[in-house]
A and B are shown apart, each in its own frame.
Chain A
C-alpha cells in the first residue's frame, strides 16, 4: 500500500469545462507513485494535454483537487522539482539552443554549468550555438527534453516526447526515459506509441472522452494470456475445451477456439481433445498487446 509521501501526482474528481457544454476532463482520478514510469494514454482530444496542463498550473481546474509533489499545481517550490515538456517544445527562435537553456536556467536559479550537462545528455552540444529556428524537428524535441532535465527534477511530465524524432532518436528517447526510471525519477509520460509505452511504463492510465477509463499495470490492462487452438471437428473440440476450463471463457473466432485460461493448462486441454478423437492442428499462446487493449477500451477512436 502506498503512503502519502509515495504519491507524487494525485488528482481527485478533476474536471475542466470550457463554456457550458464542453467537458474536456471529467472527474479524473489519477495517481502517480514515486519512482514509477506512468503512461498516460488516450486518443486525440481525449483530455490528456488538458490534464497535464492542469498538473503544472497552466490551466485551472473547474473543480476537483490536484496535488503535485504535495503542493498545489503551479506552486514555485513544486515547479522547481518538475521537469516539463507539454505538447511541442517552445523556445525563442532568435536565440541559440544554449542561450535558450541559459534563459530557463536563470528562471530556475541554476548555474550555467547545468546547461552544458543537459546539452551533452541529449547530444546537442555541437549545435548548441546555432539559432533555434535552424533546428530540425528532432533537435527541437531534444532541446525540449534538455530543458525538462535542467536541475535534475524529481518528477518529469513529458507530453509526446518522441514526436518528430527519427527511429534512432526514438530509441535514444526510450533509453533516456528508461534511465530516468531506473535512477529513481518519476516519469509521467503521454504517448501515442503504445509499443513504446508497453516497453517503458509500469502502470498506465487510459483517458477517453475526458474520463479516465482505466488505471492499472500494463500487464493487468493487457489481461491474462490465453490459448488459441485450431482443431477438427470444431464443435466437438469446443465441447471438450468447455468441459476442461468452463463455459464463460471460451469463444470461437476466425475458425479458432480462443480460451481465456492460463497457458499452463495447454497439455491437459490437448490430452482431453486427443482422447475425444479430435485432431489438434495448432495450439498457441494468445496475448493481447497494449495497443489491442487500448483500442478495445477506447472503441478505436484514435
Chain B
C-alpha cells in the first residue's frame, strides 16, 4: 500500500487546485489572525489598551490559538473541499476505473487514497503553524517585543488536535464524494453543513430551543470547536473565533472526533467495496 500511497501523494502535490485551497486557507488565517489585529494595533482606533491587546494576538505566544482557531469552521470547509476533490475527481475523470484495474485491491486503493487525504490535512496544519510562527516572529521583531513562544508540549498538542480536526473534515468530504460519486454535490452539501447547518443548530440550541443541545453536542463542528476551546482558552487573549465554543469537554470532543473519523472511513469503504464502477 505504501507505493500506492506515494502515488496518491504525488497526485495531490502536483494538483494546482490543492495549492489554491492551501493558499486560500493560509490567506484567511493570516488575514484574521495576524493582519487585521496588527492593523488594529497600528491604527490605534480603540485606544492604547485595545491596541496592545490586538498586538498580543499577533505575537508568537498566540501561535497555537491562531493556528487552530479557524479549523472548526473555515479551515474545516477548506479541507472538506480538498477531501471531496481528491476523491470526487476520480469519478469525474473516470480515473477510478483506471486505478482499480491496476494491481491493488479496492480496499488498498481506498486506504492509499484516504491516507493521502489525511496526509494532506497534516500538511495543511504544519504549514499553518510554520507560516503563523514566521509571521508572528516577524511582527514581534518589528515591534521589538520579547520572544515568547508556547511550550513544545502545547505546540505538539496543537498540531495533533489540528490534524485530527482537519482530517475529520477532509474525510467527511471524501466520504461524501464516495457516496455521491461526484465533486459538486459533495462540496455543496459539505460546505452548507459546515458553514450553515452546524451554526444554525448551535445557535438555536443556545438561544431558542435548549432541547437541541444533545443534538448539538454530537455535531462534528461543535466538537472540533470544543477541542480547540479546551486547548486555547487559557492562552487566548482576544475573542474566540466563530465555532470555538466550550460545548463539551475536551476528552469527549476528542473521542467524538475520532469516532467521526472511523465512521467516515467505514462509510467510504462500504460504498467503494460494494458498488459497481462504471
Report Cα–Cα, A247/B105, bound state, in Å.
60
Q: A91-B93, A103-B7 are in contact. Are A56 and B105 (CB under 8 A)?
A: no
- Enumerate B202-219 residues with CB–CB distance to A below 8 Å: none
- Enumerate B171-228 residues with CB–CB distance to A below 8 Å: none
Cβ-based interface call for B144 (8 A)? no
Report Cα–Cα, A224/B17, bound state, in Å.
61
- Complex interface: chain B residues within 8 A of A108 (CB): 102-103
Cβ-based interface call for B150 (8 A)? no
**CB atoms of B104 and A76 under 8 A apart:** yes
Q: Mark B76-115, 1 if CB is under 8 A from A, else 0.
A: 0000000000000000011101111111111011000000
Chain A residues close to B by CB (< 8 Å): 53, 56-60, 74-76, 79-80, 82, 84, 86-95, 99, 102-104, 106-109, 147
Which interface residue of A56, A60, A104, A147 has the most chain B CB atoms within 10 A?
A104
Q: A59-B276, A76-B104 are in contact. Are A104 and B10 (CB under 8 A)?
A: no
- Complex interface: chain B residues within 8 A of A59 (CB): 276-278
Q: A53-B276, A74-B106, A107-B4 are in contact. List 10 more A-B contacts (CB 8 A).
A: A59-B278, A60-B276, A91-B95, A92-B15, A92-B93, A103-B10, A104-B98, A106-B7, A107-B3, A107-B104
Cβ-based interface call for B16 (8 A)? yes
What total of chain B residues lie within 8 Å of the partner, measured CB to CB?
A: 28
Q: How far in angstroms is the closest Cβ of chain B from A94?
A: 6
Report Cα–Cα, A111/B14, bound state, in Å.
20
Q: Which of A53, A75, A147 sits near B98, CB closer than 8 Å?
A: A147
- Complex interface: chain A residues within 8 A of B102 (CB): 79, 104, 107-108
- Enumerate B1-55 residues with CB–CB distance to A below 8 Å: 3-4, 6-7, 10-11, 14-17
**CB atoms of B276 and A58 under 8 A apart:** yes
**CB atoms of A94 and B94 under 8 A apart:** no
Report Cα–Cα, A286/B10, bound state, in Å.
59
Ordered nearest first, which 4 A-B pairs have the shortest CB separation?
A: A90-B94, A106-B7, A107-B102, A84-B101
Q: How far in angstroms is the closest Cβ of chain B from A213?
A: 24
Which interface residue of B3, B4, B7, B98 has the most chain A CB atoms within 10 A?
B98
Q: How far in angstroms is the closest Cβ of chain B from A302?
A: 22
Q: A76-B104, A76-B105, A79-B102 are in contact. Are A58 and B97 (CB under 8 A)?
A: yes
- Complex interface: chain B residues within 8 A of A94 (CB): 14-17
**CB atoms of A109 and B103 under 8 A apart:** yes
Report Cα–Cα, A84/B97, bound state, in Å.
10
Report Cα–Cα, A93/B100, bound state, in Å.
18
Report Cα–Cα, A106/B98, bound state, in Å.
13
Q: How far in angstroms is the closest Cβ of chain A from B271?
A: 14
Q: How far in angstroms is the closest Cβ of chain A from B127?
A: 21
**CB atoms of A95 and B104 under 8 A apart:** no
Report Cα–Cα, A202/B88, bound state, in Å.
41
